[in-house]
Structure 1
Amino acid sequence: MTTVTDLNQPSLQPTAPKGRRLTLPVLLLVIAGGLALTSIVRIITGADGITNVSQMSTALELAVPIGLAGLGGLWAERAGVVNIGLEGMMILGTWFGAWAGYQWGPWNGILVGIIGGCIGGLLHAIVTVTFNVNHIVSGVAINILALGATRYLAPLAFEGVQGGSAKQSPPVESIGNFTVPGLSDALVDLNDKGWFFISDVAGLLGGLVTNVSWLTLIAVALIPATWWILWRTAFGLRLRSCGENPVAAESLGVNVYKYKYLAVIISGGLAGLGGVFLSIVANPFYLEGQTSGRGYIGLAAMIFGNWMPGGLALGAGLFGYTDSLNLRGGAENVHALLLLGAILLAIGAVWLLVRKKYVPGVITLAVGVLVFTWYSLTDEVPNQVVSATPYVITLLVLSLSAQRLRMPKADGMPYRRGQGK
């Protein structure tokens, strides 16, 4: 029987990513630095909405489904299975969650929605692990299949029911939310002062304790829980070994197929939970097209986070924040953030030039100048730019962080039981 000591042999230990790791102190410094720059921009532009409590509360709500999808992708890819099918698994979660929720209550809807996502994960595992089909092909097929299946099932389940239609479910009862009494009001008052940095921190913290869904608490708790399971338990070590060197793992007695199956099913369940959040918390009903590509953005958040839960949470928060700009004073806030973008590009250019990367540094500086010129010559941005902001930010973040990334070594690689013999 394989023991934890066996699995600590060098052949199975995942190689540490090159460069500085995103530890908690570093993460807090990054957040503090970002808030300080944002505060400067807020004072210069007068766009107080970019860090108020309502904005941050909305950003948190929008970040949760992205983060859950990204967390699902992390579980699968740490076991060596690329999960492009996160979007489809989220779609299954939205439909199954709303279908069960309006009949038997929201908490039963959450459970059934998770099961719906797990079904998508199981299908992906069968196709990729057992039959060794290309992971990308399988994921895309699941996305198409989930969309087609829910479009077929929705009229059968919801048409003729009060409040339902061919593209929408009846409303689901709310699971409720909470506000920390006293603390929330104090942070709102402090945020309204408009002080440098302090008011912005108050806005961020206020968004975390004002009108927060109980499902949001569960989703946030899953981030440290995932880290602890994958990096502090024998189960997690065995699972990660399957994504780094499955042949070596098998030689030490690890059932690679079992761990890959478990990881992908858990991945589907987490993505399904993200879909449930959309159809029960964000909106109290299923609606066709509800996911709006959040499964893909969750995958981008996972990559941005370098396949680590902490970085993933930071990426989900960033994408959720940019998505929230569509809902609250988008044009004014996005215009103000052009100045923030120009400042960040200038800092990036200086960093590249100091490291003697002259060509990338000059290009980054030129882009920063163009962004600053755009900000200086305009008073607002078109609504089309506001709508596209989350997707543009996704592309920019991935392109800028691509050089520091290090995926699991066997991620997406085909594996057959006994191939190392």
Structure 2
Amino acid sequence: MSTATVAKPTAQQPGKGSRRLSLPVLLLIIAGVLVLTSVVRLISGADGITSTGQMSTALRLAVPIGLAGLGGLWAERAGVVNIGLEGMMILGTWFGAWAGYQWGPWTGVAFGIIGGALGAVLHAIATVTFNVNHIVSGVALNILALGTTRYLSKFTFEDAPQGSSKQSPPIDSLGTFDIPGLSSWLQTLNEKHWFLVSDIAGLVGGLVTNLSPLTVVAVALVPATWWVLWRTAFGLRLRSCGENPVAAESLGVNVYKYKYIAVIISGGFAGLGGAFLSIVASNVYLDGQTAGRGYIGLAAMIFGNWMPGGLALGAGLFGYTDSLNLRGGTTNVHALILLLAMLLVVGGVYLLWRRKLISGVITLVISAVMFLWYAGTDEVPRQVVTAAPYVVTLLVLSLSAQRLRMPKADGLPYRKGQGK
């Protein structure tokens, strides 16, 4: 009598097939980048690349990108692609400025969240209820939000004092604060321009200097999102809708409800990012104020592999490159060419060590071109500085694309009972 051996199926954890960096390796990479940055600063004399003011500006510019990315994270973890983040941010800028001008900045923040959530409701109705293609719905929402806010501005801001059809009157500030003692000590240490120590002081000093209360709230939302989505039953059900909605439905999860909740929260985050732009970053609403930050936030989310921590790193990177454009960045960007060339050398050597000869040689050739560019010029054209955030977005996405793992059911149509 023969017995048949049946192989026991093993459950594969989501994302286990993708190679994810461990925390020690990630910290080692960050430390290496800091060391190389300090070396570049000493060679180029561009002390501004790690100054406290540069880092503080980078944090302020990273916040709306990070909030948009968090919005995309919530939606896509539930299986809904949210290309409409840009439109939701636009609604947040207008609603935040409109309410902030009349009733104060904190009321404006609340209305900015509501404005983004209203746009998200439209996106949820189209994608969840009517199964409209998620990309088409998001693009349509972006166009609708842009046209709606321009139309409304003509009736609300055009006749107001210091306002126009493309700009709101000034909005009262939420105020800023420093960490007493620590901020001034770190700034003094940064101004000594010591190797690595002053660079770390500038980085940390930028996180505790000239802070807005809304910045603190936005930074706190990153660990809060991680805790809710990965440490609560609610988060487990929501993520199951983005991985396998049919299986989630079989276990009693109301998939429609969780998708709606996720998309509305997503819009609220994007609207908060828009309100930050119009109330904190510039204290006025301006036509075209978002400048594609919704899309960059989506890129930061993808770079972070649909995880809050990676998203925060991506937002910080994009915020930093954007800050170079605001603080006389031609010299600083010129120094970053040298930093990029050094990083490419490290990457090329790593690829050769992994026996990827063609990729390694190409990377080293590109690094040689970057070295020649740096050596042959004293500064870069202003146009290169302006384009730096968008170039970095493309480079980061292209280099990190092979390590990404999106939720399995992200963007796929779902109908209740389709698994029966």
Question: Shorter chain as normaliser: what TM range?
Answer: over 0.9
Matched residue type, 1:139? G
- Aligned partner of 2:149 in structure 1 is 150
Q: Answer whether contact 2:18 2:405 (CA < 8 A) is retained.
A: no
Structure 2 Cα separation of the partners of residues 385 and 132 of structure 1 = 41
Structure 1 Cα separation of the partners of residues 193 and 293 of structure 2 = 33
Residue 16 of structure 1, CA deviation: 2.7
The alignment partner of 1:67 has SS state of helix
Residue 17 of structure 1, CA deviation: 4.1
- The Cα offsets for residues 261-300 of structure 1, whole Å up to 9 and x where unpaired, read as 0000000000000000000000101000000000000000
Structure 2 Cα separation of the partners of residues 380 and 244 of structure 1 = 48
Structure 2 Cα separation of the partners of residues 95 and 19 of structure 1 = 40
The alignment partner of 1:353 has SS state of helix
- The Cα offsets for residues 314-365 of structure 1, whole Å up to 9 and x where unpaired, read as 0000000000000112100000000000011111111111111111111111
Task: Give percent identity, aligned residues only.
Answer: 76
Matched residue type, 1:40? V
- Aligned partner of 2:413 in structure 1 is 414
1:110-149 correspondence runs (5 A): 110-149=109-148
1:168-207 correspondence runs (5 A): 168-207=167-206
Matched residue type, 1:83? N
Structure 2 Cα separation of the partners of residues 112 and 194 of structure 1 = 44
Residue 19 of structure 1, CA deviation: 4.7
- Aligned partner of 2:271 in structure 1 is 272
Greater Cα offset, 101-110 or 351-360: 351-360
Structure 2 Cα separation of the partners of residues 405 and 303 of structure 1 = 7
Structure 1 Cα separation of the partners of residues 22 and 154 of structure 2 = 48
- Aligned partner of 1:45 in structure 2 is 44
Q: Answer whether contact 1:319 1:394 (CA < 8 A) is retained.
A: yes
Structure 2 Cα separation of the partners of residues 92 and 66 of structure 1 = 15
- Aligned partner of 2:346 in structure 1 is 347
> Measured at CA, do residues 219 and 12 of structure 1 come closer, stay the same or move farther in structure 2, by a change above 3 Å?
farther
Q: Answer whether contact 2:101 2:170 (CA < 8 A) is retained.
A: yes
The alignment partner of 1:169 has SS state of coil
Q: Would you say how many aligned residue pairs link Structure 1 and Structure 2?
A: 412
Structure 2 Cα separation of the partners of residues 77 and 358 of structure 1 = 36
- The Cα offsets for residues 110-155 of structure 1, whole Å up to 9 and x where unpaired, read as 0010000000111100000000010000000000000000000001
- Aligned partner of 2:236 in structure 1 is 237
Residue 24 of structure 1, CA deviation: 4.3
Matched residue type, 1:237? L
Matched residue type, 1:338? I
1:279-298 correspondence runs (5 A): 279-298=278-297
Q: Answer whether contact 1:95 1:286 (CA < 8 A) is retained.
A: yes
- The Cα offsets for residues 149-182 of structure 1, whole Å up to 9 and x where unpaired, read as 0000001011111121100111110011110121
Greater Cα offset, 104-113 or 352-361: 352-361
Q: Which runs of 4+ in 1 moved over 4 A?
A: 10-14
User: RMSD between aligned alpha carbons?
Assistant: 1.3
> Measured at CA, do residues 11 and 90 of structure 1 come closer, stay the same or move farther in structure 2, by a change above 3 Å?
farther
Residue 27 of structure 1, CA deviation: 3.7
Matched residue type, 2:54? Q
Q: Answer whether contact 2:20 2:403 (CA < 8 A) is retained.
A: no
Matched residue type, 2:79? G
Q: Answer whether contact 1:18 1:404 (CA < 8 A) is retained.
A: no
Could you state the TM-score of these two structures normalised by the residue count of structure 2? 0.96
Structure 2: 5+ residue stretches without partners: 1-8
Q: Answer whether contact 1:306 1:312 (CA < 8 A) is retained.
A: yes
Matched residue type, 1:171? P
Structure 1 Cα separation of the partners of residues 141 and 11 of structure 2 = 31
Structure 2 Cα separation of the partners of residues 76 and 259 of structure 1 = 10
- Aligned partner of 1:3 in structure 2 is none
1:159 matched to 2:158? The reply is yes
Could you state the TM-score of these two structures normalised by the residue count of structure 1? 0.96
Matched residue type, 1:175? L
Structure 2 Cα separation of the partners of residues 171 and 377 of structure 1 = 45
> Measured at CA, do residues 14 and 20 of structure 1 come closer, stay the same or move farther in structure 2, by a change above 3 Å?
closer
> Measured at CA, do residues 65 and 11 of structure 1 come closer, stay the same or move farther in structure 2, by a change above 3 Å?
farther
Residue 25 of structure 1, CA deviation: 3.8
Q: Answer whether contact 1:11 1:248 (CA < 8 A) is retained.
A: no
The alignment partner of 1:325 has SS state of helix
- Aligned partner of 1:34 in structure 2 is 33
- Aligned partner of 1:98 in structure 2 is 97
